Structures are given as structure tokens and as C-alpha cells.
Amino acid sequence: MYQQNNSASSSSSNSNRINVPEARGALDNMKYEIANELGINLKQGYNGDLPSRQAGYIGGYMVKRMIEQQERQMSGK
């Protein structure tokens, strides 16, 4: 019988959790800044009417920017 690995399933179910709560404000600011740069009208609060493609663009660019920032920090620039 197939048994699911609990650590793998629990990590996927917690994908929206912020690991550093103090970063919430900075992440929200980044989200709105990137949405503005992409020309996506993101409003405060609920954005469930936003097409998933646009939401994906915002999230993807957030990840890209965070990776770039970390690479700069690691390289000492």
C-alpha cells in the first residue's frame, strides 16, 4: 500500500505561509510595486477576480527579484 510522505505533503500545504512575519509589510510593498510596473491593477484586500495569469506574473517577478537581491547580497555588491 502506498503511504504518503508527511513532510512533503505538509510543505506543499503551507506554501502561502510567511516564514518571517516581520517581512510581511515588505513583501506586500514589493507585490504592489511589481503589479504597478507590470500594469496590473492590484487593489488592497481581496483580488480573487484577478486572472491567474496576472497573479502568476506578479508572484514570478517577486521571486525573480528576491533571487536577484540575494545574489547581490551574497556577492557583496
Burial code (b: 16+ CB inside 10 Å, e: under 16) for 8-28 equals eeeeeeeeeeeeeeeeeeeee
Q: Do residues 61 and 38 touch, judged by C-beta distance below 8 A?
A: yes
- In a domain, residue 49? The reply is yes
Domain extent, residue 50, equals 21-75
- In a domain, residue 26? The reply is yes
- In a domain, residue 30? The reply is yes
| Predicted pLDDT at 14 | 60
**In which band, very low, low, confident or very high, does the pLDDT at 12 lie, cut at 50, 70 and 90?**
low
- In a domain, residue 54? The reply is yes
Count of structural domains within the chain: 1
Classified as helix, coil or strand, 19 is coil
Q: Do residues 29 and 45 touch, judged by C-beta distance below 8 A?
A: no
- In a domain, residue 14? The reply is no
Which range (16-20, 23-27, 52-56, 60-64) has the least confidence?
16-20
